[in-house]
Structure 1
Amino acid sequence: MPLEQNEKSPIRDYKYAEVQNEDKELGHCDPKKNYSREYITTIIATLGTIVCGIQFTWMGPILPQMLSGSFKIQITMAESVWVFNLLHVGGLIGSIVASMITNHFGRKRTIVWTTIPFIISSIIRIYAETVLHYYIAQFIGGFSVGASFAVVSMYISEISSPEIRGILSTFIHFSVSVGILFVFVLGACLPIITYYYVLAIFPIIQLIFTFYLPETPYFQVMKQDYKGAEKTLRYIRKKSNVQDELNRLIEGYKEEVSEKDQTFLDLFRDRTNLKSIIIITVLTMAQQWTGATAIYGYSQVIFVDGHSSISAESCGILLALMNFAVVFLLGAVIDRFGRRVLLMVSGIVTLIPLTMLGVYFYLQDFTDFKYIEHFRLVPLIGIVFFKFSYGVGLSGIPYVLSGELFPTTVKAYASSLNSITMTAIGIVANNMYEIAFKEYNYPGVFAMFFILLVLAIIFIYFMVPETKGLTLEEIQVKLRKSNKNKIRKISN
């Protein structure tokens, strides 16, 4: 039976709520929880998303050299767009494959296998002689990017305690930022070929360490390996008595599969799952259609075109440092202020740097504004400001929610679909940027980002639920209760 709720207590009206108190009743309550192994496990799991950050941005700091013809492989702007696009095409296939194998082989093995295409991609990049080789490398690396994003968010949500699931989920964004930081620092300091060799070290490190990951207790419960699930819970929670949590996982999973086996189509047949898909899809659009894709891939070119008073290489490093630092801020506040509030604040504040950049390029390129030389730091300030405001919400929180909003029975399908959606939206984002830039130059590009972000903010306000502090089971109850209430209102 559900527990009666105190008015000041959070709503936790699901049928397994009483389990939370059993430890205290039995005298098994630990005085203080130890999350150290959850942090260590999450760090190892996200080594692959460091490589994802590298795959996303490796061309950024060296693109001006390639465009100018000073490197052995010369590339055009249109070809660079296809280099980025093929990463997303490979990601599409990787996402599909991940959804097919992660429920069969497990989350851990899938993460381990993603290292192989990363290593192959790095080797091809080292020995590349033509743009075609870059296309092949990006496609193969993209396969692991898609698979990584499909499985890592699922893995973290399934090994995390509710109290720190938010901050652990931000490690995905953090590790991507680490990869980006390495790219811009190494790209500014090393010759291109040496730069490629150093980047190839990261997927090898990933391969070595991911063998030490435990499987998630959720997957072990799915496979009815209850002893394995208990062993995993004891390890990652650093507790000797985990029976109550294990019972909750078992009962929760049985409840989810009590009616029938879940299939990919149940993502769309079930109203709650469909709502979650819509939320994640729109948040992914907000991630990639509001400037992040262009600024990640073309920041060096933007600094050059903006005639920044600081070198493009230095601007790139400062940008990467901000991108890296802001993740610590997100980790510190996400479990305090919640997902929805941070998304709203992030979106609203991000409108300011988009306006700054649009106005600056309009004054530079389309007017005779005689004081423009006094504003040459605006591209750097605007983009660093963008990275800060975007990073405290829009950048990382969609990854958090994608691991929280779906039940265990369809989570693998949902993660795959989310990754496929991210891939498709990324391809569209690259082409949107190229087309808008050709037609309207930078002012039109930043105006487009501004309008799309305003629409995203409106959606977030009305549609995105708060999941802070709730277990995965409680989130499902909250979503389903919300849908039932809406149906009731409509019928009345």
Structure 2
Amino acid sequence: MAEKTGVSTNNLVEAGDYGKSKKLPQYIAALSVCMGSVAAGTVLGWTGNITKENLANRTLNDIYVDPDNDYGWIGSFSTLGALCMCFPIGFICDLIGRKLAMLLTIIPFSVGWLLIIFADSTAMIFAGRFLTGLAGGAFCVSAPMYTSEIAEKDIRGALGSYFQLLLTVGILFAYLLGAFLKPQIVSIICACVPLVFGVVFFLQPETPVYSLKKGNEEAAIKALRKLRGDEYNVEAEIADIKANIEKDEREKIPLSKSLETRAAKISLLICFGLMFFQQLGGINAVIFYVGTIFEEADSGLSASDVTILVGVMQVIATFVSSLVIDKFGRKILLLISGFIMSIAGILIGIYFSLKDDVSDIGFLPILGVCIFIIVFSLGFGPIPWMISSEVFPAEIKSNASSAAGTFNWFLAFLVTKFYGDLAAEIGKDVTFYIFAGISLVGVVFIFFVIPETKGKTLDEIQRELNGEKNVGQGIDNQGFNS
């Protein structure tokens, strides 16, 4: 008898009632929505090959950019834009739908890139970076939400990891362009990526969950048939989703009241904690300033070559994560990721501590950064965003996901803006030792706080967070180590 599958969060249909489903349409839908993640990745990777030296030499639209005062802002304005968008996008997704909300991000993407392409002052560059960051930040909330609502539970982890995978593809794409082309040409090409996303994603359906919430059962049935195939029992899952929505409506309580539940409190601790350790581990210091790090490290390789190497490793590692995340689970990958990230941070710190006294250690920053990127992409890259879409109770999911995303991008802004200042004040070695220490604390947090969500329906996860025992028979049911 087949295992019950579906996006439903309520166990009202017995195993086998859903019938046989196709997986390929779900993979295609997830990859289509994550084309927007490629667009967001180009925003992050755009600065990878732009160093202080070439900015001072007017390589960006012949504009003089102060390497001390303006450089940090060019990197961090995109994170400010993402920060400002995380809350509105949750409300927009609930108001006009997940699909239309993401299609509308093409507008700020396009306007932002046009400002950068035709910039004649640093103010226009800052504004362009802010708008492209705003659009990119929207995907951090909306893409995982869309994917979690179209995916069956046995492939939800793999599909959820595509957001981070395609983000890294976008970063690598920008790295490659930046290594061979002038920044203005890179910007023109990057401006085309959101348009490609619009064409590809336009053909995909709205999520069945959202359509049923709006009372459009016909659209929900059509979407499920497209996503699951003709042999699938669409009516059974529609009934399941509708029953769950009705249950949520009956039990609907004010936001302030819903935050008092055990599941809400624990899910907030889980998601905000993971966002904290993801960003304060130093990832954006590496992503935004990888070219500058190697330029200053004098490793013997050109900054652009190492930047591309790092981008390739990031894509490969994230792809591997998408293959194994539903097999090994979220928790073990997070533990491995956090522990080895701390080791990589220590290696980078050791290099900066010894480079003036010891020769022939130029390989250390390359080794450290490559290890850091690989293990980050295996765990701490995709999983915090995925878990946010899995553990929040339905009644607070939109607001809580937006709040977690805002918190993440606020920390990203702090790291990207003040990494250079901090490194200059206390030394690059001490800065990376701090990043390493935070990653180690994150390992302890994961071990004692994070539950395993692999193979569980959203309803089973909620019942486990509320303290119910023996949830989800026949599944790997790791709970809290408390």
Q: Given the two structures, how large is their TM-score scaled by the length of structure 2?
A: 0.91
Match of 1:88 in 2: 79
**Which of 410, 433, 441 is residue 447 of structure 1 equivalent to?**
433
**Residues 166-189 of structure 1: per-residue CA shift (max 9 Å, x gap):** 000110111110111111111001
Match of 1:20 in 2: 14
Q: How far has the Cα of 1:267 moved from its partner?
A: 5.9
Task: Confirm whether residue 39 of structure 1 aligns to residue 64 of structure 2.
Answer: no
Q: How many aligned positions are there?
A: 462
Q: How far has the Cα of 1:482 moved from its partner?
A: 5.4
Match of 1:456 in 2: 442
- SS of the aligned residue for 1:74 comes to coil
Q: How far has the Cα of 1:383 moved from its partner?
A: 0.7
Task: Confirm whether residue 250 of structure 1 aligns to residue 242 of structure 2.
Answer: yes
**Residues 8-61 of structure 1: per-residue CA shift (max 9 Å, x gap):** x99xxx9953513252xxxx732xx42111011111111111111111121221
Question: Equivalent pairs: percent with the same residue?
Answer: 28
Task: Confirm whether residue 151 of structure 1 aligns to residue 145 of structure 2.
Answer: no
Match of 1:433 in 2: 419
Match of 2:303 in 1: 312
Match of 1:226 in 2: 217
Match of 1:400 in 2: 386
Q: Given the two structures, how large is their TM-score scaled by the length of structure 1?
A: 0.89
For residue 238 of structure 1, what is the amino acid of its counterpart? G
**Residues 349-397 of structure 1: per-residue CA shift (max 9 Å, x gap):** 22221111111110014xx22xx2x221222121111111111101111
The question of whether the paired residues in 2 share the 8 Å contact of 1:66 and 1:74 is answered with no
For residue 115 of structure 2, what is the amino acid of its counterpart? I
Q: How far has the Cα of 1:345 moved from its partner?
A: 0.9
**Residues 59-88 of structure 1: per-residue CA shift (max 9 Å, x gap):** 221224534424222322432222233222
d(CA) in 1 for partners of 2:325, 2:450: 15
Q: How far has the Cα of 1:403 moved from its partner?
A: 1.1
- SS of the aligned residue for 2:91 comes to helix
The question of whether the paired residues in 1 share the 8 Å contact of 2:335 and 2:447 is answered with yes
- SS of the aligned residue for 2:455 comes to coil
d(CA) in 1 for partners of 2:204, 2:69: 41
d(CA) in 1 for partners of 2:206, 2:393: 18
d(CA) in 2 for partners of 1:202, 1:296: 20
**Residues 407-452 of structure 1: per-residue CA shift (max 9 Å, x gap):** 3333222222122112212122224523421221111111110111
For residue 47 of structure 2, what is the amino acid of its counterpart? M
d(CA) in 2 for partners of 1:15, 1:98: 23
**Which of 132, 136, 150 is residue 141 of structure 1 equivalent to?**
132
Task: Confirm whether residue 388 of structure 1 aligns to residue 374 of structure 2.
Answer: yes
For residue 269 of structure 1, what is the amino acid of its counterpart? E
**Which of 363, 371, 374 is residue 354 of structure 2 equivalent to?**
363
d(CA) in 2 for partners of 1:37, 1:439: 52
**Which of 251, 265, 273 is residue 259 of structure 1 equivalent to?**
251
The correspondence of residues 86-485 of structure 1 with structure 2, limited to 5 A, is 86-240=77-231, 241-260=233-252, 263=255, 265=256, 268-365=259-356, 368-369=357-358, 372=359, 374-481=360-467
Match of 2:51 in 1: 63
The 3 A distance-change label for structure 1 pair 15 and 413 is closer
d(CA) in 2 for partners of 1:262, 1:53: 37
For residue 411 of structure 1, what is the amino acid of its counterpart? K
d(CA) in 2 for partners of 1:51, 1:77: 28
d(CA) in 1 for partners of 2:459, 2:261: 16
d(CA) in 2 for partners of 1:388, 1:141: 26
d(CA) in 2 for partners of 1:22, 1:44: 29
Unaligned runs of 5+ in 2: 472-482
d(CA) in 2 for partners of 1:331, 1:404: 16
Q: How far has the Cα of 1:329 moved from its partner?
A: 0.9
Q: How far has the Cα of 1:483 moved from its partner?
A: 10
d(CA) in 2 for partners of 1:479, 1:336: 22
The question of whether the paired residues in 2 share the 8 Å contact of 1:217 and 1:232 is answered with yes
Unaligned runs of 5+ in 1: 1-8, 486-492
- SS of the aligned residue for 1:393 comes to helix
For residue 245 of structure 1, what is the amino acid of its counterpart? E
Q: How far has the Cα of 1:291 moved from its partner?
A: 1.6
The question of whether the paired residues in 1 share the 8 Å contact of 2:109 and 2:132 is answered with yes
The question of whether the paired residues in 2 share the 8 Å contact of 1:22 and 1:244 is answered with no
d(CA) in 2 for partners of 1:298, 1:482: 46
Cα RMSD, aligned residues only: 2.2
d(CA) in 2 for partners of 1:282, 1:429: 16
The question of whether the paired residues in 1 share the 8 Å contact of 2:99 and 2:206 is answered with yes
**Residues 148-195 of structure 1: per-residue CA shift (max 9 Å, x gap):** 212111000000010100000110111110111111111001122222
Q: Which moved more, 1:164-173 or 1:412-421?
A: 412-421
For residue 317 of structure 2, what is the amino acid of its counterpart? V
The 3 A distance-change label for structure 1 pair 62 and 16 is closer
The 3 A distance-change label for structure 1 pair 210 and 308 is same
Q: Which moved more, 1:410-419 or 1:108-117?
A: 410-419
d(CA) in 2 for partners of 1:269, 1:483: 20
The 3 A distance-change label for structure 1 pair 65 and 439 is closer
Q: Which moved more, 1:315-324 or 1:140-149?
A: 140-149
Q: Which moved more, 1:329-338 or 1:376-385?
A: 376-385
The 3 A distance-change label for structure 1 pair 201 and 65 is farther
d(CA) in 2 for partners of 1:80, 1:57: 15
